[in-house]
């Protein structure tokens, strides 16, 4: 008979707890949290040595995760493309879907000698950090309104050279009008009446300012369109994320507003995810 290790027994207990709590990926989350508290690589976590302190911390984290506290709040970090970011209460946790849009923007400016890129609704600074990491010669600017989220962005962008400002995107970067090569944003886009359909990890833990955006979810998108039109040089591009149900309504914000090449693009799962457009 095979004797299970302490780590395996803990994982089995944790998976049952997370499953009962409605967590979508119980095995994944349990293994990541045990790896986090033991310092053991995830691939070897089933044979990890678990101290009493690590065991108690792990069970506390599993209890919190079962109450739908975001995994990233428990570990204090998340990965985004090729960078790691500090995240926690008060800042929107960047999602893998946003990585596709970020890659599109990077592809648009990578060939330029010294591209100017602006991130609106910066949150943790994930997009700005990825741009400056993958296109080091880029001059990157970012703005975030929420005070707590801004402080997270300060941590993540320290020493990168990114021009981070706190304020409303609507009137940000007047000094850059007509000079920007790319504007990118992951604005709030959830309609106010969609409360019940939003996962508890998002609804109860991500900041409200990063989620809700009017009756149709597009109030912030309209501001992004106006600001991008002001900032971009001729030929410059904008990319803005939206909900998968806004594959037609989000591009419609840009149609008829002096834009060309207005297109909606999909994420890795093939769902409508972000709109792009170019200044003529």
CA distance 170 to 174: 10
Strand partners, 166: 144
- Residue pLDDT, tens place only, 20-53: 999 989 999 999 999 999 999 988 989 888 999 9
For 165, phi and psi rounded to 5 degrees?
A: -130, 150
For residues 128 and 184, what is the distance between their CA atoms, to the nearest angstrom?
A: 9
In 3-state terms the chain splits into helix, strand, coil percentages (rounded to 5) of 45, 20, 35
Contact status, residue 95 vs residue 189, Cβ threshold 8 Å: no
* CA 270 – CA 277 distance, rounded (Å): 19
Which positions make up the binding site for substrate? 186-189
pLDDT, tens digit (0-9, with 9 covering 90-100), for 231-265: 999 999 999 999 888 899 999 999 988 899 999 99
78 CB contacts (<8 Å, ≥6 apart)? 72, 84, 85, 87, 93, 94
Q: Could you say which architecture CATH assigns to the domain 82-278?
A: 3-Layer(aba) Sandwich (3.40)
Binding residues for S-adenosyl-L-methionine: 144, 186
- Model pTM score: 0.86
Annotated binding site: 144, 186-189
Name the pLDDT band for 1 (thresholds 50, 70, 90): very low
Token readout for 273 is 């995810």
Q: Which residues contact residue 136 at a Cβ distance below 8 angstroms, ignoring those fewer than 6 apart?
A: none
- The whole-number pLDDT of residue 52 equals 92
For residue 248, how many other CB atoms are within 10 A of its CB?
Answer: 10
Q: How many CA atoms lie within 13 A of 277 on its CB side?
A: 25
């Amino acid at each position: 008979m095979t004797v299970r290790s302490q780590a395996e027994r803990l994982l089995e207990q944790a998976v049952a707890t997370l499953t009962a709590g409605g967590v979508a990926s119980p095995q994944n989350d349990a293994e990541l949290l045990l790896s986090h508290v033991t310092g053991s690589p995830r691939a070897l976590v089933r044979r990890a040595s678990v101290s009493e302190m690590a065991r108690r911390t792990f069970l506390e984290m599993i209890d919190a995760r079962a109450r739908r506290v975001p995994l990233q709040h428990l570990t204090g970090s998340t990965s985004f493309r090729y960078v790691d970011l500090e995240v926690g209460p008060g800042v929107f946790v960047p999602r893998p879907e946003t990585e596709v849009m970020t890659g599109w923007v990077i592809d648009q400016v990578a060939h330029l000698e010294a591209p100017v890129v602006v991130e609106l609704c910066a949150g943790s600074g994930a997009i700005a950090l990825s741009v400056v990491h993958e296109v080091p010669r880029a001059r990157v600017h970012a703005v975030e309104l929420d005070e707590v989220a801004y402080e997270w962005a300060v941590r993540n962008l320290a020493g990168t050279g990114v021009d981070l400002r706190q304020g409303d995107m609507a009137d940000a970067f007047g000094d850059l009008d007509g000079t920007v090569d790319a504007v990118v944003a992951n604005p709030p886009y959830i309609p106010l009446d969609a409360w019940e359909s939003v996962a508890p990890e998002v609804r109860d833990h991500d900041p409200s300012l990063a989620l809700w955006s009017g009756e149709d979810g597009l109030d912030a998108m309209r501001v992004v369109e106006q600001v991008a039109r002001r900032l971009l040089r001729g030929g410059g591009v904008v990319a803005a994320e939206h909900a998968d149900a806004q594959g037609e309504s989000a591009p419609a914000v840009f149609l008829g507003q002096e834009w060309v090449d207005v297109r909606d693009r999909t994420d890795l799962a093939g769902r409508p995810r972000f709109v792009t457009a170019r200044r003529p």
